[in-house]
Amino acid sequence: MRRIINFCVVFLILLYSCTTKITRVACVGDSITEGYGLAVQSKTGYPVVLGSILGSGYMVLNSGRSATTLQKKGDFPYWICKEFSNVFAFNPDIIVIKLGTNDTKPNNWQADRYEEDYQALIDTFRTIPANPRIYLCLPVPAFKTKWGINDSTVKNGVIPIVEKLAEANHLPVIDLYHPMLSQGANFPDSIHPNEQAAKMMADIIAKEIRK
């Protein structure tokens, strides 16, 4: 049933975009993108807020899936999720990638593999007919180590690789790490943003998209 509902949502978005000139934005990510921990994900998840900020000229798809890794051999690869397929069905003009938080778990983290699979994800998204502009996000901080997720690997592992790939592929970077360092109080479980932090993330991303 959930798969049917998701398909219908994507279909309706595409139908609307065929009759109205809009810019389609796909937000790719894990639970932070999906909206884990928020009282009403469908209203306060950062992709939903991003759509409200960008306005009627944009249509934003929340393609986040909780617990996923960017690495193909992680404990739950994004590659095998329906949200990954939904990105291609949506045929976006813009893709915002925010994956890496779950990759920092000790059982998942392999720097070489993370870099290789991130490049593969970029290359795969570049096959989308709309030729989307791809933004790479520096992950938000992990304010405490939890579920194996840790800020040391975010800062010293994930971020340098994201910056390296952005430069190599001539892609823009959205920094969600440094602006959020002062927002620890708005991450109730130290990993996931509350409504206030999600809005701040949306504001940062919208500013970059509008440049």
Helix (H, G, I), strand (E, B) or coil at 96: strand
Q: Dump pLDDT digits (tens) for 31-46.
A: 999 999 999 988 999 9
CA angle 10, 12, 16 (to 5 degrees): 115
Q: Dump pLDDT digits (tens) for 99-110.
A: 999 999 999 999
Question: Which has the higher per-residue pLDDT, 121 or 18?
Answer: 121
Where along the chain do its domains lie? 2-13+22-209
State yes or no: pLDDT of 7 exceeds 90: no
Q: pTM of this prediction?
A: 0.90
Contacts of 196 (CB under 8 A, 6+ apart): 183, 186
For the chain, where are the E strands, in sequence order? 23-29, 58-64, 94-98, 133-138, 173-175
Q: What is the DSSP letter of 98?
A: E
Question: Average pLDDT in the 66-81 region?
Answer: 98
Question: Average pLDDT in the 70-95 region?
Answer: 98
Burial of 167 (0-12, 13-18, 19+ CB in 10 A): exposed
Per-residue confidence (pLDDT) for residue 90, from 0 to 100: 98
Per-residue confidence (pLDDT) for residue 21, from 0 to 100: 85
Distance from the first to the final alpha carbon of the chain: 39
Q: Rounded to the nearest 5°, which phi and psi values hold at 31?
A: -65, -30
- Looking at the chain, the number of H-run helices and the number of E-run strands are 9, 5
Q: At 14, is the pLDDT very low, low, confident or very high (cuts 50, 70, 90)?
A: low
Tell me the pLDDT of the chain averaged across its residues: 94
State yes or no: pLDDT of 20 exceeds 90: no
Fold for the domain defined by 2-13+22-209: Rossmann fold (3.40.50)
